[in-house]
A = this chain, B = another copy of it.
């Protein structure tokens, strides 16, 4: 980079941010026709992977708070995508099961992979591998800087 003039717009940080937004946008745009917000997709995914999970198990897999899970699952129930059933063993435990309409959306499970396959169209296997490795090295270097300045900078959003 020695000879290039550094400008904020051209910075790697800006490039990475723009790329991240383009990926999110592509995902959201492909979910939109099904009226499934990205947050709901994560909850459906848990059940597509294992139907009949308890509310607690779903929240854990999604990494959502109890309040978010309650609201999201209620929405999904109102949309007829899932139904709830109390556990026979433990009446306090609530399980969720896919309804036919929720099952019918299962093809959306492959969406992120599909977006990614199209985003990397024309990349060789080696190029994708290099890209992953380069991103990993950036994070390793950044973690080392962080260690120098302050050991206590956890990202609360990181789960």
Residues of A within 8 A of B (CB): 1-2, 6, 8, 11-13, 15-27, 29-30, 45, 112-113, 115-123, 125, 127-128, 130-132, 134-139, 141-143, 145-146, 149-150, 153, 155, 157-158
Contact = CB atoms under 8 A, between A and B. Distances in A.
Given A125-B2, A146-B25, A118 B141 contact: yes
A131 B153 CA distance: 27
Max chain B Cβ within 10 angstroms of own Cβ: one of A20, A24, A122, A132 = A20
Contacts of A30: 149
B121 A153 contact: no
Max chain B Cβ within 10 angstroms of own Cβ: one of A12, A113, A118, A143 = A12
A39 to B, nearest CB: 14
Contacts of A131: 12, 131, 134
What are the 6 tightest A-B residue pairs by CB atom distance, in nearest-first order?
A22-B142, A6-B113, A13-B23, A15-B135, A19-B135, A131-B134
Nearest to A113: B6
Main secondary structure on A side of the interface with B: helix
Given A21-B157, A29-B145, 14 more contacts: A12-B132, A13-B112, A16-B16, A16-B135, A18-B139, A19-B142, A22-B143, A29-B153, A30-B149, A119-B138, A120-B138, A120-B141, A123-B137, A131-B134
Contacts of A117: 1
